[in-house]
Structure 1
Amino acid sequence: METDIKEVKTLYDLYRQLNVSGNLVQSSEVFTIHNLVDIGFKLPYRSQPFRPNYFSFLFVKNGVGAYTIDDQTFHAEPYSIYFTNPSNYRTFSWEKIEEVYLITFDEDFLRKYLREDVFDNFPFLLTETLSPKNATPSFYAKVEEIYLLMYREYHAGGANKYKIIGNLLSVLLFYIKEYFWEEYNPIYEGNRKSQIVKSFKQLLEKHYRDLTVGKIEVAYGVQDYAAAQGLHPSYFSSVIKSKTGKPIVHWIGEKTTSIAKSMLQNSQTSIKEITYRLGFSETAHFSNHFKKHTGISPTQYREHYQNGQPI
């Protein structure tokens, strides 16, 4: 069955697979917001299976469809709010689309335009699967006002639009957390394997935050993350791979790169200091890691960022 799965990673890839015009995706930042009416789905529509690399929120004011993640199917209906994060294989289908807004963003966007501790404020972002929530008309109107402001900013093209969108996204997340997930704790939701994944994600986040502020000096390896949950490294690694589709070393590598990008955007932090804080023994090792994951060196990344060039 795996051989039939399309490894669509970015939203741009997904739109290209759907033969959608590329001008719907603005590539300077990994953030999009669209009314799905503009996509032009030929209804009824069912997607190929894919695994995204972005977070998404779906606000269904008037539409009928379904999302399937692994073996769970969730129905999207009027006044439902739906959230997914980067991880599981999924498909989606639509029977009716009249007013359905899709917001997508990645971890780099969250760190750049919200806060470094974004997952402390919004722990539900770490979960693997959350069921859609049905909102009251009054609450839906409240969040609709925010996402329509984001939509207008995104398509207006102002110089500070992503800063404005970042602040609006923060407000939106606080509203959603307060209404749906104030008591949500990703550690206690789901079966045992889901708990292992969620505990790992939380520890990964905390560990790298401690690294960047100098609380600790040694980066964790697979054995360390396994030991934190009292698990054998082989079993722990197999759970992470089977539940998320990515080996644990990929999670660690991606987190290191994401944090490195955030630190490189601060011109006051030297590359040598970033090397030290992220647990690399030598600058050359850090540079090799960064280039392997991004295609450019840390110095080039910083230069592109400072000059406002696409990265």
Structure 2
Amino acid sequence: MWKENLYQPFEILVTERTVFLSGVHQHSFFELGYVLSGTGCLTAFGEDVSYRPGTLFLIHPETTHRYNVETVSRFVFLRFTRQAIADYLGSAAEPFLTMPGDSRPVSVSGEDARRIRALFLLIWREKENPGMYSGELLLQWSVSALLIVARNLAASVLPAAGTPPSERIAWLLPYIQRHIGQPKRLTTEALCETFHFSRHYLGRYFRRHFQENLARYIARCRMRAVENELANTASSIKEIAWKYGFSDASHLTKAFRHHAGKTPLQFRKEYLSRLQDRQADGQGHDSQYGGKENRA
């Protein structure tokens, strides 16, 4: 597996593919990928997720992934660093574009879906046939696309104004999962302010609704996110500790040992060993029955 780096804060890549030769790899940057045409799937976090025209994937740094093309596919990739978000989009969009994600496509619907497609078509055509002020236009269109994505990500984790309390509580779990690396957003005080609950009501209602203590649920979510990082990225323990709000690697190690009964490094070593055993078993099976083409 190899890792791709970005040598500038922001980059646009347009490509038409019948196959991706890169195979399984990681990035040191964020990548928003839009499918203009074609079909296939993205493999990440141990799942294969199909894509078609209009599908959007937001890949976070250090995420192990690969694209598998089924029919000729056109992609527009917006590649950017955390600093680029601050420079071009501002602090309001940063939490939503950088919050921990998974392999599911970004959901953009209605008029925003049409706006996104129009913007990515403009980007494709300008990259194919650049003219005067191409750089400026491409940057403006890209920033607009990213802001629309941030707006839809925000809408997916926050209830609309006036939502009844009995319905508002259902938004709490995805919000916690999205912000699991931002502990200041997950304090009781911050959650009460965000969801307009009283402190007493939130704790009592959460326990009644989900049969679990709120603080314990947040801690379990954080440990699951750490497990996912250990299994699917090459990030150091220090990097993972920083990403998920631990003061340092030793505090993460202590918390993880309490959670899993082993250190993060032991967990990673055991996971990789099991993965290699499964891959070896699969190769033996393929050899016995003639194998199967694996398209990158």
Normalising by the residue count of structure 2, what TM-score does the alignment of the two structures yield? 0.52
Specify the alignment match of 1:129 in structure 2.
Answer: 102
2:36–2:121: 8 Å Cα contact kept in structure 1?
Answer: no
Measured at CA, do residues 240 and 111 of structure 1 come closer, stay the same or move farther in structure 2, by a change above 3 Å? farther
The answer to whether the aligner puts 1:30 opposite 2:4 as a matched pair is: no
- How far apart, CA to CA, are the structure 2 residues paired with 1:193 and 1:169? 33
What percentage of aligned pairs have identical amino acids?
13
Deviation at 1:202, TM superposition (A): 9.8
What's the CA shift string for 1:248-289, capped at 9, x where partnerless? xxxxxxxxxxxxxxxxxxxxxxxxxxxxxxxxxxxxxxxxxx
| In structure 1, C-alpha distance between the alignment counterparts of 2:115 and 2:249, rounded to whole Å | 43
Structure 2: 5+ residue runs without aligned partners?
159-170, 181-216, 230-237, 272-296
SS at match of 1:171: helix
Within 5 Å, give how 1:79-98 maps onto structure 2.
79-98=54-73
Deviations 1:92-147 (A, max 9, x none): 11122354322221223223323356543x1x633252312565574421222344
Quick one: distance in 2 between partners of 1:73 and 1:241? 24
State the distance in 1 between where 2:30 and 2:98 align.
8
Structure 2 vs 1, CA of residues 78 and 151 (structure 1 numbering), >3 Å: closer, same or farther?
Answer: closer
Q: Distance in 1 between matches of 2:244 and 2:263?
A: 22
Residue 140 of structure 1 corresponds to: 113
For 1:87 and 1:117, the matched residues in 2 are separated by 24
Task: State the Cα distance separating 1:54 from its structure 2 match.
Answer: 1.7
Cα shift readout 1:152-177 (whole Å, capped 9, x = no counterpart) = 78755567568746742552233331
Aligned residues: 206
Alignment match, 2:263: 235
Bigger drift between 147-156 and 52-61 goes to 147-156
- CA–CA distance in structure 1, aligned partners of residues 266 and 138 of structure 2: 38
TM-align CA RMSD: 4.5
Q: What residue number does 1:69 align with?
A: 44
Deviation of 1:179 (Å): 5.5
> Aligned pair in 2 of structure 1 residues 137, 78: CA closer, same or farther (>3 Å)?
farther
Matching residue of 1:9? 4
Kindly provide the amino acid, as one letter, of the partner of residue 235 in structure 1. T
**Unpaired runs of at least 5, structure 1:** 12-26, 208-218, 244-311
Q: Give yes or no for the alignment of 1:223 onto 2:250.
A: yes
Q: Is the 8 A contact 2:106 2:153 kept in 1?
A: no
State yes or no: 1:173 paired with 2:167.
no
Amino acid at match of 2:84: F
Q: Deviations over 1:211-260 (max 9, x none)?
A: xxxxxxxx9431244567784897245568999xxxxxxxxxxxxxxxxx
Q: Structure 1 residues 35 and 241 mapped into 2: Cα distance closer, same or farther (>3 Å)?
A: farther
Three-state SS of the structure 2 residue aligned to 1:177 is helix
Higher RCO (CA-CA < 8 Å; seq separation 6+): 2
1:242–1:30 Cα change, 3 Å: farther
44 and 236 in structure 1: CA distance in 2 versus 1, 3 angstrom threshold: closer
Are 2:34 and 1:59 equivalent residues in the alignment?
Answer: yes
Residues in 2 aligned to 1:235 and 1:117: alpha-carbon distance in whole angstroms: 36
SS in 2 for 1:176: helix
Structure 1 pair 225–234 and aligned structure 2 pair: CA distance change class (3 A): same
SS at match of 2:50: strand
Q: Does 1:112 find its partner at 2:87?
A: yes
Amino acid at match of 2:61: P
Q: Which amino acid aligns with 2:3?
A: V
Contact residue 45 and residue 95 of structure 1 kept, 8 A: no
Distance 1:143 1:202 in 2: 32
Return closer, same or farther for 1:241/1:36 CA change in 2, 3 Å cut-off: farther
Is the 1:126–1:202 Cα contact (8 Å) retained in structure 2?
no
Aligned position for 1:299 = none
1:195 aligns with 2:190: no
Task: Specify the code of the residue in structure 2 equivalent to 1:175.
Answer: R
Return the index of the structure with the highest Cα Rg.
2
